[in-house]
Structure 1
Amino acid sequence: MSNQLAMFDQTETFKKLPGVLSFQRGIAISDALFFNQLDDNTETPVMVVRHGIRGTQNVSSGDSKPAKAKKTDQEANAAEASPTVDGTTKDSVARDVSNVQITDTAKLDPRSTALKVRCHLRALDLEQLLFAVAASKGEQDTTAVKRYRESVERFIAAAKESEGLQEVSRRIARNIANGRWLWRNRTLAHSIRIEARGLGDRLLGQYDALAISLNHFDNVSESERVLASVIADGLRGEAETIAIEAIIDFGIRGSVEVFPSQNYVEKKPKGFARPLYCVGHPSESRAMPENHLYFEATREMGQAALRDQKIGNALRTIDTWYPAYAERGRPIPVEPNGANLDAQAFFRDKKTSAFEYARRFNLLDPNTSEGQFMIASLIRGGVLSGGEE
């Protein structure tokens, strides 16, 4: 640590954050690819297939278009309840029962005995995470920005030597070991075995994922500690790539549906239901309109995968430091304001947000809950500039 940094005022706080303040993600993650484990111990990619289906309408009758001529309540009730000759109601005849769609599906090979999911990750040095810090446009005096950068550097230097960093790393390791990152595939699994390996194929740990809690970070096993130490070493600057493999047994054999990430598509084509995430390129279409013998009912779109952002969201679901944890009993993803999509709520107010803590890095002890939340926030990355005075 430089003499200039050592002499920095540790009691200083900032009324506002710099106009430009951003951090890059502290853990680099690959997409997690899906593979069939076949009955002869070989493996093949699980492919996303695009196809058509004919389902039924699942909308409230109140969502149907109103009749052109207004009826009295008595007439409307009689029309709705009155059966036709074949026993259906007039209301169901008036509306289209069918729901024809084009959709994507990922299913295991008929010869599969299990689903394999693989990804790699590597922790980055905390010192590399401060991506940009600068004054607002038009601001002439940059002294405060320089002091702010020094406050971040001081906190990072303390964090790298802290037990708080170990705790954050143990929580990330648990979310690898318990298979939280497998999302819906974990929910449907009969059993899951996860392996983590380091340099030279060194075994870091083997885990029975379904036996490890999703809701707390107590009772950390020795194999979780080994994995956590590699993550913590990476955050201190001693990088090591970690290979992760999950073997998921769904308790049944055959073409079982599995669940990669979904793609968000704005203004989807009419009749298109669900696009799934995959890597690679779609198979070439052999369709020949003039010859119906070559008609294709399905088309392979690529290898099924979980997107890296989705995995990252699962791994950072470690925030039990938010005020309502004792009441809810579940961790939430580390977010500056505690935003949670499942609950459609913010679990951190102005006083407990990352924006507030970032104004007073010099007062944060990385071993406290506030300090650990901010270590995790740095690892999450993102933009924190623009705080209010």
Structure 2
Amino acid sequence: MSKSALKTASVLAFERNLDVSDAYLWQTNSQANIKSTDADKKLSRSPVTVKEKSVRGTISNRLKNPNKTDPAKLDAETEKANLQTVDSAALNEDNDTLIARFSLKVLPFTGKPNVCNDQNYQQALQQVVTDYVENQGLDELARRYAINILNARWLWRNRVGAEKISVTVKCNDQTISIDDAKSYGLKDFKASDAKVDQIADWIKAGLNDDAFIILYVEACAIIGYGQEVYPSQELILDTGSKKSKVLYRVSDRKGSEDNAGMHSQKVSNAIRTIDDWYTNAEFPIAIEPYGAVTTMGTAFRQPKDKMDFYSLFDNWVLKGETPDASQQHYVMGVLIRGGVFGASGKE
């Protein structure tokens, strides 16, 4: 079938190829572990738990007409109790180190959709992916994923307040360890050494279906005795909730449901924060079809600029217009991310 006769499948979906688990949060004392054996270190760990606390807040919202507000009225509002019940998580007073760990399964990336209702379109799509793998290869994507694992970007706010972070990555009977995750920057992907290369090779082997790959990743961040820890925060859909902040909990092997954790989506978002190929890029953003960054309320890949996933993807598959190498990496990164990409008839 000619390219001109092809149309985007109305039903088209890809499963994610980087399958990330939730991150479990633990704590320990770095000084106590200096002289400990490996067995002792495992025994000295304890979960980071989520606790409730009630606080009295103050009025801090922006006033509509601050210059016209009656001082007496504001004083009266200030006297009112603004009681809040919130979740919080922190290290114990005798622990200074946060331990976070998760697993990452790398699934084969063949370009075959999980669901597609047009076989001609599917053949054209798979040929595009095959050509990319043969001509460009998965080296660049794998290397960027590897750097984001080693730089502990996935710790998010916990990374910012850490004095020192070490990261360990295990695959089968091999282990890669680094003592200073912050030596790998967050603003670019220029880092290159044997450890980055090894982890990238593992990821590439999984994507190419050369081996079954599952990585076990652990970070130890020294943040200070008794310091606050930042698990994922739950989205509260029930507006009648008594809590103003609810933290994510994970169950441990003993059945405790108060242990703190991070959503797999949050960890995954950090690992795929590799897109610095958008126009006038100042920093990497997560691989997304429109380059959306919700915390900034901005979509960095606007359809009007023809730099969004759908514009690049459709021109590549339907018209044979191959984008430049960097945008090829981006498009394939979105497919590895997974999602529903069919052409709906609805506006």
Q: If the length of structure 1 is used for normalisation, what is the TM-score?
A: 0.77
After superposition, residues 1-389 of structure 1 pair within 5 angstroms as 12=3, 16-38=7-29, 39=32, 41=41, 42-62=44-64, 79-80=70-71, 89-127=72-110, 130-134=113-117, 145-200=118-173, 202-206=174-178, 208-237=180-209, 238-250=211-223, 252-253=224-225, 255-269=226-240, 271-280=242-251, 302-325=258-281, 329-350=282-303, 351-362=306-317, 363=320, 368-386=325-343
Please give the per-residue CA displacement for 1:212-259, whole angstroms capped at 9, x wherever unaligned: 111111132221111011001100112211010000001x32x21100
Aligned length: 329
Return the alpha-carbon distance in structure 1 between the equivalents of residues 110 and 279 of structure 2: 29
Shift of 1:110: 1.9
The 1:214–1:387 alpha-carbon spacing in structure 2 relative to 1, beyond 3 Å, is farther
CA contact (8 A) 2:25 2:261 kept: yes
- Residue 352 of structure 1 aligns to a residue whose secondary structure is coil
SS at match of 1:257: coil
2:111/2:129 contact within 8 Å kept: no
Q: Give, in whole Å, the separation in 1 of the partners of 2:169 and 2:151.
A: 12
Change (3 A) 1:234 1:34: same
Displacement of 1:26: 0.9
Q: Which runs of 5+ in 1 are unaligned?
A: 1-7, 65-72, 81-88, 135-144, 285-299
Aligned mates of 1:321, 1:248 — CA distance in 2: 31
**Contact kept in structure 1, 2:14 and 2:340, CA below 8 Å:** yes
Q: 1:110 to 1:95 in 2, by over 3 A?
A: closer
Residue by residue over 1:241-284, the C-alpha shift from the partner in whole angstroms, topping out at 9 and shown as x without a partner, is 1010000001x32x211000000011333652100011129x99
Work out the CA distance in 2 between the residues paired with 1:228 and 1:154.
Answer: 24
Shift in CA distance, 366/247, structure 1 to aligned 2, threshold 3 Å: farther
For 1:129 and 1:311, locate their aligned partners in 2 and report how far apart those are by CA, in whole Å.
25
CA deviations over 1:32-81 (Å, ceiling 9, x no partner): 100011336410111111222222222234389xxxxxxxx9xx66x42x
After superposition, give the CA deviation of every residue in 1:147-175 in whole Å (9 maximum; x if it has no partner).
21001211222333444411011011111
Given the superposition, is the C-alpha separation of residues 50 and 236 from structure 1 closer, same or farther in structure 2, using an over 3 Å criterion?
A: same
Secondary structure of 1:268's counterpart equals coil
Q: CA RMSD in A?
A: 2.7
Q: 2: distance between equivalents of 1:165 and 1:367?
A: 15
In 2, the alpha carbon distance for the partners of 1:167 and 1:104 equals 40
**Structure 2 stretches of 5 or more lacking a match?**
34-40
State the partner residue of 1:67.
none
Q: Residue 385 of structure 1: CA displacement?
A: 1.4
For 2:52, the aligned partner's letter is R
| Cα gap change, 1:146 to 1:190, in 2 (>3 Å) | same
What amino acid is aligned across from residue 382 of structure 1 in structure 2?
G
Taking structure 1 as reference, are residues 162 and 104 closer, same or farther at Cα in structure 2, changes over 3 Å only? farther
8 Å Cα contact 2:6-2:121 kept in structure 1: no
Q: Quick one: distance in 2 between partners of 1:98 and 1:13? A: 68
Distance 1:234 1:341, change over 3 A: same
Given that residues 292 and 300 in structure 2 are in contact (C-alpha distance below 8 angstroms), is that contact kept between their aligned partners in structure 1? yes
Preserved contact between residue 312 and residue 331 of structure 2 (Cα < 8 Å): yes
The structure that has the greater radius of gyration is 1
Closer/same/farther in 2, CA of residues 206 and 181 from structure 1, 3 Å limit: same
The percent of aligned pairs where both chains have the same amino acid is: 28
| 1:34–1:303 Cα contact (<8 Å) kept | yes
Query: How far apart are 1:205 and its partner, in Å?
Result: 4.2
Deviates more, 1:212-221 or 1:303-312: 212-221
Between the aligned partners of 1:233 and 1:366, the Cα distance in structure 2 is: 25
Cα distance in 2 for partners of 1:276, 1:108 equals: 15
Conserved 8 A contact 1:105-1:276: yes
Choose 255-264 or 361-370, whichever is displaced more.
361-370
Which whole-Å CA distance do the structure 1 matches of 2:278 and 2:260 have between them? 35
**1-side partners of 2:64 and 2:312: how far apart?**
48
